[in-house]
Amino acid sequence: MGPLPDSESATEEQLFRYEALFEDISVPVTDEEAEALAGLFGPDDCYGMAWTLIHIIETAPNRPVKAYQEYAEKEWIIHLRTRPERR
């Protein structure tokens, strides 16, 4: 399905589909799965879906934040990278 759409253009069908797909993910995810999931962040929080994605990614055992360099400029990756510092 690709990255999450922005909140303004997301359809109800897309939101239900992402929600179902995220619910089907078994946690904890592997580091490799977390890296692949990092590519799904869109331009905004997509009605909270980005937070769901962050919580799934955070279950990875090593939280390979440095592996997300491909997406380093995305707001959500920056948030994910700095999140451990806030705890």
Quick: pLDDT tens for 27-62: 999 988 998 898 899 989 999 999 999 999 989 888
76 against 4, higher pLDDT: 4
Please name the residues in contact with 35: beta carbons below 8 A apart, sequence gap of 6 or more.
64, 67, 68
| Local structure of 53: helix, strand or coil | helix
What per-residue confidence (pLDDT) applies to 10? 95
Kindly indicate the confidence band of residue 84, based on its pLDDT and cuts at 50, 70 and 90.
low
What per-residue confidence (pLDDT) applies to 77? 75
What per-residue confidence (pLDDT) applies to 52? 94
Core vs surface per residue 21-52: b (16+ CB within 10 A) or e: eeeeeeeebeeebbbebbebbbbbbbeebbeb
For the chain, the residue count is 87
Average pLDDT, the chain: 85
